[in-house]
């Protein structure tokens, strides 16, 4: 029995679609907003999603992009809207939506679209789509790198990516790769010795040369003789090396001719420690991908665990982070991955007490820190005024009705005796 997830903030539409689809023999799950849709998607991948565009928390187009970026768009998604435009429909289709239905939805149109979408859908036997460049995050150094990659994407000149191993250099290289053309990653044995055979590489191919700074002098000379004609023919050549390659060339430790050929365009890929604020988002994306591929059970990070990841130095960069995320998900005792789970994998000690500022905990979400401060603030003024709420209201600058509502929201119990 196919499972269909209906995501719509209007209860009437949810119930109507649920009734229609259930009568047709489908198993229907409902979500009233994007947050519920994420949870439903994480617990069990539906065979089809009917997704409303206009929702109060996150719009459907944004959620569709999120699933596409995280490799979770492995089921057909049919967009729905009562205020759709051609531009919106085109954008949704470009991102990966199967179809677009305009409300009110005609019954036959709905059932026909659902039948066709399910006929093309496949259960996740294959691996999820590969990571996109979006997994690197969006901090300033990464944003600058993405802009530079965009500018050179259509240039048919060699590109040298200077990066510490595991920083995402292959993601950058694959971003430069032209779709529907051959991708050739040179193996270490290729080109050594001098007379060894080179794979047939056409002008439309992308040739990926990993860590050229580790090549022996013989290998450098062999590849220099072969790369010149390839570069002239228009073959996309993308090489990676450690950031100090220019210094090695100056010291005679790397062939200057080969360096000149490879470095027509040189881009630096920042190590993970230089955009540490991206780590929580990257870790969450990696975990979602692993859950999708069924490499780990359904898990989620606590805020404190993500903070432990953010504060780590990551000498192994993205490769190390991916390994830590997988290990932490496997060793976690429950659905939540806590700071102790992460610390045990990293071999670090977690503080017995959370970081404090002015006696208030700061190792958590902003809302939690704000509520803790407000409780302390109101407790202080209530005690100072001896429980006289009129004077407290005047002191804190709130109307009494608003004050009582705020105290109730914060869970503050008032003294039994109060003066008016």
Q: CB-hemisphere CA count at 13 Å for 81? A: 17
The most confident of 126-135, 176-185, 256-265, 383-392, by mean pLDDT: 256-265
Asked whether the domain spanning 137-270 has the same topology as the one spanning 3-120, the reply is: yes
Give CA separation, 351 vs 253, 306, 309, in Å. 45, 14, 14
Q: What are phi and psi of 360, to 5 degrees?
A: -115, 140
pLDDT of 349 above 70: no
Planar angle of CA 5, 44, 100, nearest 5 degrees? 30
User: Selecting from 3.60.21.10, 3.40.366.30, 3.40.50.10380, 3.40.50.300, what CATH number does the domain 137-270 have?
Assistant: 3.40.50.300
Reference 61, options 77, 46, 72; nearest CA is 77
Query: Where residue 241 falls among pLDDT bands split at 50, 70, 90?
Result: very high
- Condensed to tens digits (0 to 9), the pLDDT of residues 111-121 reads 999 999 998 76
- The pLDDT score that the predictor gives to residue 224 is 92
Reference 53, options 14, 13, 92; nearest CA is 92
- The pLDDT score that the predictor gives to residue 27 is 93
Asked whether the beta carbons of 331 and 345 are under 8 A apart, the reply is yes
pLDDT of 141 above 80: yes
pTM value? Answer: 0.59
Residue 162 or 104, more confident: 162
Reference 240, options 157, 321, 164; nearest CA is 164
pLDDT of 242 above 90: yes
User: Selecting from 1.10.3720.10, 1.10.760.10, 2.20.25.190, 3.40.50.2300, what CATH number does the domain 3-120 have?
Assistant: 3.40.50.2300
Which CATH number is 275-346 given?
1.10.8.60
Rounded CA separation 83/406 (Å): 38
Which two three-digit tokens encode residue 143?
């944003």
Rounded CA separation 64/344 (Å): 35
pLDDT of 233 above 60: yes
Residue 1 or 114, more confident: 114
Which two three-digit tokens encode residue 141?
């150094």
Instruction: Calculate the average pLDDT of the chain.
Output: 84
Average pLDDT over residues 236-247: 95
**DSSP assignments along 171-237, one per residue:** HHHHHHSPTTS-EEE--TTTT-STT-------TT-EEEE--GGG--HHHHHHHHHHHHHHHHHT-EE
Asked whether the beta carbons of 262 and 212 are under 8 A apart, the reply is yes
Cis peptide bond prior to 12, omega within 30° of 0: no
Asked whether the beta carbons of 28 and 22 are under 8 A apart, the reply is yes
Q: Each residue of 175-210: b (16+ CB within 10 Å) or e?
A: bbbeeeebebebeeebbbeeeeebeebeeebbbbbb
Q: Where are the domains of the chain?
A: 3-120, 137-270, 275-346, 356-410
Residue 376 or 16, more confident: 16
Residue 128 or 413, more confident: 413
Give CA separation, 58 vs 10, 97, 169, 170, 181, in Å. 14, 17, 32, 32, 36
Query: Where residue 418 falls among pLDDT bands split at 50, 70, 90?
Result: very low
- Condensed to tens digits (0 to 9), the pLDDT of residues 151-198 reads 999 888 999 999 999 999 999 999 999 877 888 887 544 444 344 445
Rounded CA separation 373/367 (Å): 10
Query: Which homologous superfamily does the CATH classification assign to the domain defined by 356-410?
Result: Homeodomain-like (1.10.10.60)
Show Cβ contacts of residue 346 under 8 Å, excluding neighbours closer than 6 positions.
308, 312, 324
Element housing 342 (H / E) = helix 339-346
Task: Please tell me whether residue 50 adopts helix, strand or coil conformation.
Answer: strand
- The pLDDT score that the predictor gives to residue 358 is 60
- The pLDDT score that the predictor gives to residue 212 is 94
Which two three-digit tokens encode residue 188?
């270490």
């Amino acid at each position: 029995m196919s499972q269909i997830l209906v995501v719509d903030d209007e209860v009437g539409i949810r119930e109507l679609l649920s009734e229609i689809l259930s009568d047709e023999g489908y198993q229907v799950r409902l979500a009233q907003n994007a947050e519920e849709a994420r949870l439903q998607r994480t617990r069990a991948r539906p065979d089809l999603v009917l997704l409303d565009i206009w929702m109060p928390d996150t719009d459907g187009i944004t959620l569709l992009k999120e699933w596409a970026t995280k490799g979770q768009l492995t089921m057909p998604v049919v967009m729905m809207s009562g205020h759709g435009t051609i531009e919106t429909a085109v954008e949704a289709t470009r991102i990966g939506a199967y179809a677009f239905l305009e409300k009110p939805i005609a019954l036959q149109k709905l059932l026909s679209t659902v039948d066709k979408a399910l006929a093309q859908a496949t259960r996740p036997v294959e691996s999820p789509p590969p990571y996109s460049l979006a997994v690197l995050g969006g901090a300033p150094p990464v944003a600058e790198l993405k802009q530079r990659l965009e500018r050179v994407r259509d240039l048919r000149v060699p590109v040298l990516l200077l990066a510490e191993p595991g920083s995402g250099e292959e993601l950058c290289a694959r971003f430069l790769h032209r779709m529907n053309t051959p991708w050739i990653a040179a193996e270490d044995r290729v080109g050594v010795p001098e007379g060894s055979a080179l794979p047939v590489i056409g002008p439309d191919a992308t040739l990926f040369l990993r860590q050229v700074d580790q090549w022996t002098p013989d290998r450098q000379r062999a590849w220099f003789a072969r790369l010149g004609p390839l570069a002239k023919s228009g073959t996309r050549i993308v090489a990676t090396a450690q950031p100090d390659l220019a210094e090695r060339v100056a010291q005679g430790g790397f062939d200057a001719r080969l360096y000149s050929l490879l470095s027509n365009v040189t881009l630096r890929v920042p190590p993970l420690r230089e955009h540490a604020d991206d780590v929580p988002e990257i870790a969450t994306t990696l975990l979602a991908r692993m859950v999708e591929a069924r490499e780990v059970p359904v898990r989620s990070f606590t805020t404190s665990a993500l903070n432990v990841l953010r504060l780590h130095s990551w000498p192994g960069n993205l490769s190390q982070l991916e390994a830590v995320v997988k290990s932490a998900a496997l060793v976690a005792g429950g659905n939540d991955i806590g700071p102790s789970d992460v610390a045990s994998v990293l071999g670090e000690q977690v503080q017995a007490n959370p970081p404090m500022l002015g006696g208030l905990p700061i190792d958590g979400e902003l809302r939690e820190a704000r509520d803790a401060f407000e409780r302390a603030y109101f407790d202080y003024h209530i005690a100072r005024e001896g429980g006289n709420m009129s004077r407290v209201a005047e002191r804190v600058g709130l109307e009494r009705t608003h004050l009582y509502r705020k105290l109730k929201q914060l869970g503050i119990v008032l003294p039994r005796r109060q003066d008016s």
